[in-house]
Chains A and B, each alone.
Chain A
Amino acid sequence: MTPLLRLALKSLASRRITVSFSIFAIAVSVMLLLGVERIRTEARASFSNTISGTDLVVGARSGSVPLLLYSVFRIGNATNNISWNSYRTVAADPRIAWTIPLSLGDSHRGFRVLGTNADYFEHFRYARSRGLKMAAGKPFDDVFDTVLGAEVAVTLGYVVGDRVVIDHGVGRIGFASHKDKPFSVSGILARTGTPVDRTVHVSLAGIEAIHIDWRGGAPNAGARIDAERVRQMNLQPRAITAFLVGLKSRFATFTVQRKVNEFRPEPLLAILPGVALHELWSLMGTAENALAFISYFVVAAGIIGMVTMLMSSLNERRREMAILRSVGARPVRIFTLFILEAIFVSGLGVIAGLALFYIGLVAAQPVLEAQYGLYVAVGWPTETEGIYLIAVVLAGGLAGIIPAVGALRRSLADGMVLRN
């Protein structure tokens, strides 16, 4: 260890109380910096992992972001439906490999109900290429079967075989319910970290069945049809909300998109989910950037605190500098001593901040997952985070130039013998 390094360490150790507050301030700022960065990255990743493998999303003509929001994120409502005939006509295109029909509009105790068919379990992909897996039970088979997303099952405490009553509409508590036709839980999906976890899945026939005796959004009191009789009826839906399209070749994407958008019988909109996801994320980018900026400024405040600490020690250390000069320390060494101290304080701040960050991460992980469906992995720091950490130490060292120059100037003016 060089004499200077030893001096810097001992000098800091002798002022351990003020120094530890400086370190703590930097640690808290580093924790915030890393926390914001990690959540930002994970949120973006989880966001773009919501849907994959789907080449087009088709719905009634509106905007690409609203269509993406209701079809993929189950947020908001469609203004219009697509007729079953249009769906069948488009789906018959030879370039299309598969489609997944989506029918939305009902809910169950705050969770959206999605009417779809068996293709959903076969073709839906998220997080690049992961398919849906059953954690318990099996996909729906009967008209009144339902498959629950992982979070629905956990939150409401359902197991396979339980009975579920669907509410009409999407209010938190439905004002009208389909209690005459309860569903039975046939399966529960494994967790995906996507909106699928918060969805109650039923067959398209099931959606049709619960609305068959409704007229204009209310039960038709005079013409009740019970569940058993419904099974015998034609449960072919008349309309769906949207559908997902998988193509045989991705090269056909734009051709098929144009064909859907120019579909004569009904105004339809086909979007590329990747493009729409990007658009949607850029809407949130401002808030995300603001958060990042705040964390940069908090780091700056932490470093300013350290500079203040070092500056305020200058006066009481004039004697010390004179002694060091008298034993032959060159002025540049006095300068370096302060820079080293600044680097140590910010380095220890970074290490302590990293520790706080991981403690916070372990503590917050279950909450983030339960409340926001955001899974944040407790892994090694990423490259970006590493760069941030190094940047904080460098910024600390650079800021150390301010007290170091102060010490240098005083030391040059004082010489070895202080003029009292």
Chain B
Amino acid sequence: MVQPVDLTDVKFQWRADQPVVLDIPAFSVGAGERVFVSGPSGSGKTTLLNLLGGVALPQTGSVSVGNLRLDKLSSSARDAFRADHIGFIFQSFNLVPYLSLIENALLPCRFSEIRASRAMERSGSVEKDARRLLARMGLDVDSLSGRPVTELSIGQQQRVAAARALVGNPGLVIADEPTSSLDEDARKMFLDLLFGEIDADDQTLIFVSHDRRLEPLFDRHIALSEVNRASGDMFAS
């Protein structure tokens, strides 16, 4: 269930007449590993995430998640794969504004039967599992659930996003600068809670950030500017 990730000889450019944004000979994350990916802006982070999620396809090379070649799948199969096996946490604005706290947290279960059935197996219903995870993320569901999610603090919103990424145990969690909008205390709390759940569920974690202070918390560090041969060339070529 836990997903390893492997990129080999990947090259990506947005359009044929534009420079290569990503040129990665090798990038791999073992199953259950917690990896810190650092990279300044312009190093191809956004593109890497879109490749890992199967939203973008490389021009050459292979992208494997859980031993499945994403680059060999059709776009709808990639969408289905993403729904089933990857949880995402974004930098900010993680929540669908018109859905409630619980509906936001269980949103992946609406698009993935696998995750819905896992959540159900675990807690009896997807809703109960969403409540469980929100509670594990330190949120007082009963007092917060009546309010629009847009009224939650940024820290609370990020914890709802983490619950959403974890619900139904996807196997791979990808976080894109999830703490950069948080203050010191909120950041520490968020990371503690996230790691707790990642360990409890044995999930692979790819954590992208430019904040090098977080590096020691992870099993391994990958500097995107080192693995991506195209980085920095963007303006040179």
Contacts and interface: CB of A to CB of B under 8 A. Distances in A.
A329 B109 CA distance: 11
The SS class assigned to the A binding surface is: helix
Given A327-B83, A328-B82, A415-B55, A320 B110 contact: no
Contact of A319 (B84, B93, B98): B93
Interface in A379-416: 415-416
Nearest to B176: A417
Interface string B98-136: 110001000110111000000000000000000000000
A288 B49 CA distance: 62
A414 to B, nearest CB: 9
B66 to A, nearest CB: 15
Contacts of B111: 3, 327-329
A14 B98 contact: yes
A43 B30 CA distance: 80
B164 A327 contact: yes
A269 B159 CA distance: 92
Nearest to B161: A323
B15 to A, nearest CB: 12
Contact of B98 (A13, A327, A417): A13
Given A323-B95, A329-B79, A415 B56 contact: yes
A328 B112 contact: yes
A328 B49 contact: no
Interface in A73-102: none
| Interface footprint category on A | 20 to 34
A229 interface: no
A417 B84 contact: no
B90 A328 contact: no
Nearest to A11: B98
B143 interface: no
A417 B80 contact: no
B93 to A, nearest CB: 4
- Interface centre among A6, A13, A320, A323, by most chain B C-beta atoms within 10 angstroms, is A323
Contacts of A289: none
A326 B88 contact: yes
Nearest to A2: B110
A3 B110 CA distance: 6
Interface in A317-362: 319-320, 322-331
B25 interface: no
Contacts of B55: 325, 415-416
B50 interface: yes
A323 B79 contact: no
Contacts of A325: 55, 79
B58 interface: no
A328 B97 contact: no
A10 interface: yes
Contacts of A324: 96
A238 interface: no
A215 interface: no
Contacts of A417: 46, 49-50, 90, 176
19 contacts: A10-B103, A11-B98, A14-B98, A322-B90, A323-B90, A323-B96, A323-B107, A326-B88, A327-B88, A328-B80, A329-B79, A330-B75, A331-B75, A415-B56, A416-B49, A416-B88, A417-B50, A417-B90, A419-B46
Given A415-B55, A416-B53, 8 more contacts: A320-B97, A324-B96, A326-B88, A328-B82, A328-B108, A329-B83, A415-B56, A416-B49
